Amino acid sequence: MLKRSGKSGFTLVELLVVVAIIGLLAGMLLPSLAKAKVKANRMKCGNNLKQVHMAFTLFANDYDGRLPWLLTHHQGEQLWQSLYGTRHTGAHHLWDVQFLFLPAPIREELGTAQLLASPVDPETHSWIDKEIQHGKWDGFGHAFDGVHVHMDYRSLSYALHLGSDMQRPSTLLAVTRNIAGEACYEFDYPAGPAVPSYKDYLGMALHTASAGQASQAFVGNHEPDPVRLQNYAMAGLGVSQGQFVRADGSVKLGNNADLASVLHAHGKATGGMFKGINENLTRPTQEIIPPNKLWIK
């Protein structure tokens, strides 16, 4: 007997069911994949901060335990003269984020300026590429203020706390730039009394007394205020998200509560290279700053 040959296949209804199931699974998996990507980028950012800590540790080892902002005036002059020549006499760059990654021990430990542009901060990437391609010191130092070559503030993702001391392990050393604070103030550093350079743009303070308040917190990528969004936010960090590293090398993928906690610990730290508590930090920004504001006068 002849057997009828036939081909089995999906009916239209079965095909629609399969498509619906695939769509449902995709809808369930994609948010998880997106969250995993965000977490991975934050971890890479944390690793960058760990390298920043190592670089400043090596610097301190070369300078009697002093971080750049804790150098004496004579040490500060010698540091910048090693970069800019013996006619340079200023120590004021010790408090300016645009200059603080330039000393040789720091550059050499970092190896590449790429580590200063976080994967959660894509706005910095085109600027850091210019540093790498045209930087005066092996990929560091592309910008020019009329007198000095330095790093472009737009290429940097990390703020440096000027109250950090390797002999105060609980102090805050570096933090992602998406942090808002209050007005900075004059502090009596070992090199002399000073306010962070360009205080209206690149200087701020995180006060222990205001820890946990909205006036000093991580700024997320959904910030409703367009000015704060432009000046502070990083595209890859949401509400109450930020990374920081302490002087003891511990890195935290944190939130505003963690920030408040580290500020309280910072405020209780004593000993080291100075008296009292310094709550100033110097931070980069994507704010559009009129060039004449940053010219050396």
What is the model's pLDDT at position 4? Answer: 53
pTM: 0.88
DSSP state of 198: S
What is the model's pLDDT at position 263? Answer: 97
What is the rounded distance in angstroms from the CA atom of residue 57 to the CA atom of residue 63? 10
Q: Quick count: other Cβ atoms within 10 Å of Cβ 74?
A: 10
Q: Answer for the pair 238, 220: CB distance below 8 angstroms, yes or no.
A: yes
Sign, CA torsion 103/167/74/195 = positive
Where along the chain do its domains lie? 37-294
What is the rounded distance in angstroms from the CA atom of residue 184 to the CA atom of residue 193? 13
pLDDT in tens, the chain (297 residues): 555 555 566 687 777 877 888 878 777 766 666 677 889 999 999 999 999 999 999 999 999 999 999 999 999 999 999 999 988 888 889 999 999 999 999 999 999 999 999 999 999 999 999 999 999 999 999 999 888 899 999 999 999 999 999 999 999 999 999 999 999 999 999 999 999 888 989 999 999 999 999 999 999 999 999 999 999 999 999 999 999 999 999 999 999 999 999 999 999 999 999 999 999 999 999 998 987 777 755
